[in-house]
Amino acid sequence: MRVMLAEDSTLLREGLVRLLAEEGHRVEAAVGDGDALIAAVAAGPPDVVVVDVRMPPSHTDEGLRAALEIRRRWPDVGVLVLSQYVEKRYAAELIIADTAGVGYLLKDRVAQVDEFLDALERVGGGGAAFDPEVVRRLLAAHGAQGDPLARLTPRERDVLDTMAQGHTNASIAAHLHISQSAVEKHVNAIFDKLDLSHATGYSRRVLAVLRYLGS
């Protein structure tokens, strides 16, 4: 897979370059700010970019703005955002824009190499990958406003948490140690309770739920 990195920490950036190369991916650019990333993508779009939210010059949202610009101009390029913290507004903005080929991980997750690489593969393949902590915060924020999520059972909430991370029904079943048919039953119940039964396609599984959570 062809990957581009944008991370202002030289140590982390070089570490990611080595990790991805060792895993057989081709790192076509590794830069330290959002403008350089956009310039690199414009010169030859990769399969996926990995971008830090906070980068120079202001260290606020340069990386996120670069990610959204890449999504707008090159929608086929997967975007995996890394952040030190759960930044709910930024996560919701990215999710609302489009969750096909989008991921949001906390940087601590990078240290769990298998999970990071799994997320990268899913995003590069057009799927979604969201850090469980990010999903939990979005669910909590939305639930605090008083919404249909309160109608979900604990198990349905577990399924929604895992589904919103971008996992398939089979993967959810493996994570929660239940059968795939049980997952399908819970997913249908979730859509009914969230009034999403009439949505279609992939959005009915993950994307519409995430947009709903971020709305």
Q: Which CATH number fits domain 148-214: 1.10.10.10, 3.40.605.10, 2.60.120.10, 3.40.50.280?
A: 1.10.10.10
**CATH of span 2-143:** 3.40.50.2300
C-alpha pair distances (Å), 115 with each of 107, 110, 202: 11, 7, 22
- What residues contact residue 206 under an 8 Å CB cut-off, 6+ apart? 99, 128, 163, 164, 166
Does residue 98 register a pLDDT over 50?
yes
Q: Band of the pLDDT at 215, cuts 50, 70, 90?
A: very low
Contact (Cβ atoms closer than 8 angstroms) between residue 206 and residue 164: yes
DSSP 8-state assignment for residue 152: S
Question: Percent of the chain, pLDDT > 90?
Answer: 33
Q: Rounded distance, CA 9 to CA 148, Å?
A: 41
Which has more pLDDT, 54 or 208? 54
For the chain, the structural domain boundaries read: 2-143, 148-214
Would you tell me how many other CB atoms lie within 10 Å of the CB of residue 190? 23
Does residue 31 register a pLDDT over 80?
yes
Would you tell me how many other CB atoms lie within 10 Å of the CB of residue 74? 16
Q: Which of 3, 15, 37 is nearest to 121 (CA)?
A: 3
pLDDT score at 147: 64
Task: Report pLDDT digits (tens) over 50-62.
Answer: 999 888 888 878 8
Task: Report pLDDT digits (tens) over 157-174.
Answer: 888 888 777 778 888 899
pLDDT score at 129: 83
Please state the pTM of the whole predicted model.
Answer: 0.69
Q: Band of the pLDDT at 146, cuts 50, 70, 90?
A: low
